[in-house]
Structure 1
């Protein structure tokens, strides 16, 4: 099933692509920018981000939240441009979605209307999944076979807590098991910490609206702030995210 290229280049903070089900939202183009030896596209993205932040000061608060998380995304793309091995790993993880994972979900749950199923998945499902995988890698480093069950439970609980669309337990479980089968081999090759970092970055890049997604803020932006975000972006996030997030960020930076 094809999807519009515009989804790969998406900049808007929403996603309803029933063709790719959100599996291509934004991140593929972000990785192209990170790989590009010319910094022109990244510089333009930085200029656009800084201009959006300045303009947002005269707009309702939601625009400042959008601009702050966009600033963080630009930082991550710049960081990736200096860490090409991580780009390749994120590409491999992301390819799981557009390949075996979405195909397996289509086969088991798509029926005669796979686009209807895929549209359900655009409501922050993939970023939920990768945040939960990153958390599980750390939690179950010595009991890796327990990860799929844990990730499934975390995704379902997170979606319920944030009022996301309801997905069948079996559907979530199948997506997790299919993705995890390949991710475990990546961990064996690259190490748990590297794959954990890749899942967190991909969660931010694929998320349609990090400023409205608490799981991404807590499980991806917060840990990434210590190594992949510039001080300017951290300061912007501190101005727009909850006090508890700011407190944990500062505690983490003090301990680093």
Structure 2
């Protein structure tokens, strides 16, 4: 959609997200947002990301490159080591927010270990396992997570020299938002992808909606980040 020179599909996505937001307006006096309203807010943020990408084609190419790494070499290695006679079963385990977990953890690790790159795969593996445990998601073998991370990290690391650390972080965060099946249910994506993208101003149109549906602590951190900017 971002590659399409015509804005028609993007505008339709914008109109659909605006309509969903309007339809989920809570009754007067009700303070807690519904899941549908949270989903409408994060859908709006996704539309913001796609609009931004349509004006930044270089980032689209990097997103495609990282996506190809996950869908190619990483899946191939997992199938070889853990697929057995039923690789589809092994892959199915990874549809429960694993790939977006991996991307946001990589973005976080780049920031923390930009001067110690060799430690990043170990750190990313630990972050993924801890995050999944904290959010009550399906348990994955540490060896499987470690293999996926190491296989993904080598080509991603090489992009740092061509794209730079900040751009690579942004790329991982955007791809995490785009592929996450339900950002409104995925705290790691909210905190490590949507929050920094909102602070960066990329989600300007949807920022107010996100503030209405996410917890007060998330909103506080967003406003503090904007204040620092």
TM-score computed with the length of structure 2 as normaliser: 0.96
Query: Counterparts of 1:62 and 1:52 in 2: how far apart (Å)?
Result: 12
Of residues 59-68 and 206-215 in structure 1, the stretch that sits farther from structure 2 once superposed is: 59-68
Among candidates 218, 221, 228, match of residue 202 of structure 2: 228
Query: Counterparts of 1:219 and 1:146 in 2: how far apart (Å)?
Result: 19
1:49 aligns with 2:11: no
Among candidates 119, 125, 144, match of residue 117 of structure 2: 144
Query: Counterparts of 1:179 and 1:73 in 2: how far apart (Å)?
Result: 24
Query: Counterparts of 1:214 and 1:118 in 2: how far apart (Å)?
Result: 22
Deviation at residue 58 of structure 1 after TM alignment:
5.0
Q: How many residues align?
A: 223
Deviation at residue 227 of structure 1 after TM alignment:
2.5
Query: Counterparts of 1:214 and 1:234 in 2: how far apart (Å)?
Result: 17
Query: Counterparts of 1:190 and 1:237 in 2: how far apart (Å)?
Result: 29
Query: Counterparts of 2:83 and 2:175 in 1: how far apart (Å)?
Result: 25
Deviation at residue 255 of structure 1 after TM alignment:
1.1
1:170 aligns with 2:143: yes
Among candidates 37, 48, 55, match of residue 5 of structure 2: 37
Among candidates 51, 56, 75, match of residue 78 of structure 1: 51
Among candidates 57, 64, 88, match of residue 61 of structure 2: 88
**RMSD (Å), alpha carbons:** 1.0
Equivalent runs, 1:181-200 vs 2, <5 Å: 181-200=154-173
Query: Counterparts of 1:92 and 1:228 in 2: how far apart (Å)?
Result: 21
Alignment deviations for residues 61-95 of structure 1 (CA, whole Å, 9 cap, x no partner): 11110000000000000000011100100110011
Unaligned runs of 5+ in 1: 1-32
Equivalent runs, 1:199-210 vs 2, <5 Å: 199-210=172-183
Among candidates 213, 217, 225, match of residue 240 of structure 1: 213
